[in-house]
Structure 1
Amino acid sequence: MGMKLAHALPDDATGWWIYLGTLVLYALGRLFFAWLQARREGDSHPVRAAFAEEDDPDATSAALRGGFRSYRQFFGFVGSAVAVVLVAALTGGRLRVVLLWIIVPLLVIALSYLDFFQARKARSRAA
């Protein structure tokens, strides 16, 4: 029985494209939720409003939670990681690939919404 070493970074271009795609999906999710909010609020230029959205960093309270702004974000991140690990560990072959291709994008979009919601809540408290 051999031992496998875990790689921290991918060795091939496909792995890097997957990482890049995940980051792009997250950014597009945040932009979409900001655009949708601006449109609901009747902004005349919702695309501009979506790109102009900035989070006000609350470094002290975020540092207390390990860089997360709320416990919801932390548990969302941990829960997503656990879900991906469980799917990867309990399935195999094509089923694993299909489930991961479905679950991972859904979790990334859910986390981007959670981050958007937390930023919007923080802005409403500041105003």
Structure 2
Amino acid sequence: MTLARSLPDSATEWWIYLGAFSLYVLTRLVLAWRQARKDGADHPVRAAFSEEEPEESNTSVAIGAFRSYRQLAGFVGGTVAIVLVATLTDGPLRLMLMCTLAPVIVMALAYLDFRLARTARQRSAGSFGGGRRGA
């Protein structure tokens, strides 16, 4: 068990994890804001912050914690790409690739999650006969 990984040892690792999480949240908020503006919301920022995740339905295919095969494939593909860059490169090339590739992968996963949530919301709004909720 000496190779078992625990919490990060350095402050730099904590900043990297916090940065990836912040980038994901910021991307989701920007996407929700743009969607609210497109839908004609009176207060798009307020609508972006009050965005709710749709209720899980029994009709959707869930794979573990993932809602779809696309989500699982995106997560696995992103992980493989980052691991390959981290193991096959070194020095300034690794730093440049990790500073460009990792944020793009995080934003792509946030976009995929946003699209899945938007589709589920539209499906649930259409199935109940309701349209847009009042603000």
Q: TM-score normalised to the size of structure 2?
A: 0.85
2:47 aligns with one of 28, 46, 49: 49
Does the 8 Å CA contact 1:38/1:50 hold for their aligned counterparts?
Answer: yes
Q: Per-residue CA shift, 1:11-55, capped at 9, x if unaligned?
A: 011110110111011000000000000011111110001001010
Q: Which 10-residue stretch deviates more, 63-72 or 74-83?
A: 63-72
Q: 2: CA distance between counterparts of 1:106 and 1:41?
A: 26
Return closer, same or farther for 1:40/1:64 CA change in 2, 3 Å cut-off: closer
Does the 8 Å CA contact 2:62/2:68 hold for their aligned counterparts?
Answer: no
Superposition map of 1:1-127 within 5 A: 5=3, 7-58=5-56, 64-127=62-125
Q: 2: CA distance between counterparts of 1:60 and 1:18?
A: 36
Return closer, same or farther for 1:89/1:60 CA change in 2, 3 Å cut-off: farther
Give the C-alpha shift of residue 59 in structure 1: 6.9
Q: Which 10-residue stretch deviates more, 117-126 or 60-69?
A: 60-69
RMSD (Å) for aligned C-alpha atoms: 1.8
3-state SS of paired residue (1:55):
coil
**Unpaired runs of at least 5, structure 1:** none
Q: TM-score normalised to the size of structure 1?
A: 0.90
**Unpaired runs of at least 5, structure 2:** 126-135
Provide the identity percentage: 56
Q: Per-residue CA shift, 1:43-76, capped at 9, x if unaligned?
A: 1110001001010241756784011111111100
Q: 2: CA distance between counterparts of 1:59 and 1:12?
A: 41
Q: 2: CA distance between counterparts of 1:99 and 1:72?
A: 24
Q: 1: CA distance between counterparts of 2:98 and 2:60?
A: 30
**Aligned residue pairs: how many?**
124
